[in-house]
């Protein structure tokens, strides 16, 4: 696929935000600083790899029309990914998103959940086609029952500080 912009990172210099409208972008990294930043992101036509730092809204309804292939969210205030356009979605990476407890995504091939300790692992069974699951920097794992609910799982990686379970049967 040809992109209008191959790669763009917006951090301190905010001037490039206005250039996003209607563009197809390969990789976009946005460090959210103002309330209008979400509007600028939403104005893109598509973003293959979208990385959002410090998202300030409770969910993703403000970017509901944006086609995204890969989404990484780091340290945001969001409590859910409700509203996310999942039509082209191949992967979600939640990194230090402590307020997200479940995902409102019906189908997702790959999921990485790092340092998001409030995420309810038992809710993963509701996601169809989940083949790759990476759980990183988790304080503890109390049960592995969630693994048995992920029927399409082919690859599992777990990095935890404490195994609170003695039952590894679900693996």
Identify the structural domains of the chain with CATH numbers, from first to last.
5-160 (3.80.10.10)
Per-residue pLDDT band for 35 (boundaries 50, 70, 90) equals: confident
Count of C-beta atoms within a 10 Å radius of residue 76: 22
Q: pLDDT digit string (tens) for 87-107?
A: 999 999 999 999 999 998 999
Q: What is the pTM of this model?
A: 0.94
110-114, strands of its sheet edge to edge: 5-10, 24-31, 46-53, 67-74, 91-95, 110-114, 132-138, 155-160
Task: Kindly tell me the burial class for residue 171, based on how many C-beta atoms sit within 10 Å of its own C-beta (0-12, 13-18, 19 or more).
Answer: exposed
Q: Beta partners for 7?
A: 27
- Which run of H or of E encompasses 38? helix 37-42
**Segment 142-152 mean pLDDT:** 95
């Amino acid at each position: 696929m040809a992109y209008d912009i191959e790669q763009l990172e917006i951090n301190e210099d905010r001037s490039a935000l206005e250039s996003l409208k209607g563009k197809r972008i390969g990789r976009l990294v946005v460090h959210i600083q103002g309330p209008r930043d979400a509007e600028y992101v939403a104005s893109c036509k598509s973003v293959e790899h979208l990385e959002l730092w410090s998202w300030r809204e409770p969910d993703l309804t403000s970017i509901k029309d944006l086609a995204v292939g890969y989404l990484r969210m780091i340290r945001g205030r969001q409590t859910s990914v409700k509203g996310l356009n999942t039509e082209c979605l191949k992967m979600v990476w939640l990194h230090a998103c402590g307020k997200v407890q479940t995902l409102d995504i019906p189908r997702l091939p790959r999921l990485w959940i790092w340092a998001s300790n409030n995420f309810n692992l038992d809710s993963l069974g509701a996601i169809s086609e989940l083949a790759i699951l990476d759980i990183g920097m988790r304080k503890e794992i109390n049960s592995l029952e969630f693994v048995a609910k992920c029927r399409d799982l082919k690859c599992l990686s777990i990095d935890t500080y404490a195994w609170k379970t003695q039952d590894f049967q679900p693996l």
